[in-house]
Amino acid sequence: MPLIFNPRLWLWVIGLVLVSCGSRDRPIAPRAFTIQQAWQLEPGSQIGTYPVVAGLGDISIQLKGDRVYAPFDGQLQPHAESDCLIFSSPEVPAYLLRLCGLRNPRLGAVQQGEAIGTGQLLHFAALRKQPDGTWALVEPASSLIEGLFQDR
């Protein structure tokens, strides 16, 4: 009997396929943190039925559907309190980048220059860790923002 019709082989192949289909990556946990400054309207707030997608301290950039790239090797996570994303990197551990308005995000570990999402309008904020453990909105360097638009 040819090897292709061996029932044991077929059972082994089917088992391997089922195991590989069932092993998905773990979902990326949302990132929660406290921002030192507080305003009445922040990303995640609502005005009537409309969501607030940017706030004081955000820089808005018209993307026109273009891609946004990881400025460093790092991690992209959903933000626990809004529809935004949080980018963190061991290369700049005292900083977080809040990215609002991205579609089709690539959550999880990403490499510098890897596409992390697309969008029409990006609302960007840089946060720096404070001694008390909270995060403060800070003005980002232009070179940091430019890194969001440089692919590999």
Ranges 14-28, 45-59, 70-84: which has the least confidence: 14-28
Neighbours of 114 (CB within 10 A): 16
Residue 35 confidence (pLDDT): 76
What tokens does 67 get?
């891609």
Residue showing tokens 């969001």: 148
Q: How do residues 67-104 score in pLDDT, each as one tens digit?
A: 999 999 999 999 988 889 999 999 999 999 999 999 99
- Grouping H, G, I as helix, E, B as strand and the rest as coil, residue 3 is helix
**Nearest CA to 79 among 121, 131, 42?**
42
Domains defined for the chain, CATH in brackets: 27-147 (2.70.70)
- Grouping H, G, I as helix, E, B as strand and the rest as coil, residue 16 is helix
Residue 127 confidence (pLDDT): 96
pLDDT category, 41, cuts 50, 70, 90?
confident
Ranges 35-44, 70-79, 114-123: which has the least confidence: 35-44
Residue 8 confidence (pLDDT): 55
Give me the mean pLDDT over the 100-118 stretch. 97
Q: How do residues 6-19 score in pLDDT, each as one tens digit?
A: 555 444 445 444 44
Taking the model in full, what pTM does it have? 0.74
Residue 101 confidence (pLDDT): 95
